[in-house]
Structure 1
């Protein structure tokens, strides 16, 4: 029996969908990220591109390597390179010390000898080391009278004067004592008292926020210590404390 010869057809399977391609259907070769060669049918080209595969025909058009980003060298390393261009990077200090000479940049004067452009760059780099938000420190007087005057100014700028003014409208003018603390140098006590009520405030001259605090309050003058009843100031109608004015007897 005579055998009929039939043309042989190689089965090609799409590496994306797994489908066996039909006779005459063309497969497009792709390169996977690992460099593996893949065959993709015409229906799966978009999916192959989404997976990061690259057409083999377009692979030769890609750059062989991307340029690496070189980190910016420090100002000292740039000075070493300018001082000795032939020296390898990082060897400027070793070479200078081997000759027994101290490099200019080690004394902080390199910018002056390498042109205005480098001097400006050196000054800019030094500015980055300064703190952005320096802490503001309030100066505390060392003299007792100066502490008293400062504490009165701080108290008069606070909201507590409204309390003093409100009570004064009902009970009259108060007795006032302003005394620096013997334990905490930055604190001053202000005691405002009436016959039926008293308020003890603490003024912290070193505090930047909320320097005036209500420490205690009461109803009987006998509750106060002896020093707190040595009246040396007064309060006017708006609640502000005034030094050098005798309190009502």
Structure 2
């Protein structure tokens, strides 16, 4: 009978890399954290140590379970703590010198003698200057006041209104008299038989010197003192000194 030859070497593989152990290759038994025994090749000793496995030969001197991982803080807490550490400024040389002298940073050395620091002067709130009013020089004589008032009236939009009415109602009567109660004011009245307008001209106002004060339909509504009719319209529809025909 023919004998069958079989190798006495059993096929053993590394528990870490899975490679078949060669004949004569050195292996070592490791104990996993659960207590299971595994064979590890020489090339995987370091990987087994990192995995928390313990050499069976050192099992009596080393605990079977590896060290517990350190509890990690939540991500938000770690970021907040890191930001607080970065925001804390390091003391400067001047601060350290002040600390050696017993004086806090930024405080005068005299405060260490018991004297309270002088209070800072309170800043007064800024008050803008008043807006200057646009004023003009006011004439002193009545004649010059009337001439100035007529010039201002003819330069305003009210002159165009009067000129337009005169095309349909004819030439008006007009009065220009200084106001005795207001030295810078001249009163103008433009009247027709069917309507009238009274204006106030402020010779000292450079923004809106001419303003319509009143208007009506009856000439009897006009104060009798304003019936002098010392002005009228010229050919260009401007109000001038003179009596209307």
Instruction: Give the TM-score of the pair, scaled to structure 1.
Output: 0.51
Deviation, 1:177, is 0.5
Deviation, 1:223, is 2.1
Separation in structure 1 between the aligned mates of residue 232 and residue 185 of structure 2, nearest angstrom = 20
Between Structure 1 and Structure 2, the one with more helix by share is 1
2:243 matched to which residue of 1?
246
2:82 matched to which residue of 1?
53
- Aligned match for 1:14, one of 72, 82, 91: 72
Q: CA RMSD in A?
A: 3.6
Structure-to-structure mapping, 1:1-249, within 5 angstroms:
5-6=63-64, 9=67, 11-17=69-75, 40=78, 48=79, 51=80, 53-54=82-83, 64=91, 134-243=132-241, 245-248=242-245
- What secondary structure, in the 3-state scheme, does the structure 1 residue paired with 2:72 have? coil
Separation in structure 2 between the aligned mates of residue 132 and residue 8 of structure 1, nearest angstrom = 83
- What secondary structure, in the 3-state scheme, does the structure 2 residue paired with 1:154 have? helix
Deviation, 1:173, is 1.1
Hey, which bits of structure 1, 4+ residues long, moved more than 3 A?
Answer: 62-65, 130-136
Separation in structure 1 between the aligned mates of residue 161 and residue 135 of structure 2, nearest angstrom = 29
Separation in structure 2 between the aligned mates of residue 145 and residue 229 of structure 1, nearest angstrom = 18
In structure 1, the gaps of 5 or more residues are 19-37, 41-47, 66-129
Separation in structure 2 between the aligned mates of residue 151 and residue 52 of structure 1, nearest angstrom = 79
- What secondary structure, in the 3-state scheme, does the structure 2 residue paired with 1:14 have? coil
Separation in structure 1 between the aligned mates of residue 243 and residue 87 of structure 2, nearest angstrom = 97
Separation in structure 1 between the aligned mates of residue 223 and residue 130 of structure 2, nearest angstrom = 47
Deviation, 1:208, is 3.1
Question: Residue 201 of structure 2 contacts residue 211 of structure 2 at CA under 8 Å; is this kept in 1?
Answer: yes
In structure 2, the gaps of 5 or more residues are 1-59, 93-127
Deviations 1:197-233 (A, max 9, x none): 2111111222233221111112222222222110111
Question: Residue 134 of structure 2 contacts residue 205 of structure 2 at CA under 8 Å; is this kept in 1?
Answer: no
| Alpha-carbon distance change, 52 to 198 in structure 1, aligned in 2, over 3 angstroms | farther
**Who wins on radius of gyration, i.e. which is larger?**
2
Separation in structure 2 between the aligned mates of residue 217 and residue 241 of structure 1, nearest angstrom = 17
- What secondary structure, in the 3-state scheme, does the structure 2 residue paired with 1:53 have? helix
Separation in structure 1 between the aligned mates of residue 81 and residue 230 of structure 2, nearest angstrom = 85
Q: Give the number of aligned pairs.
A: 153
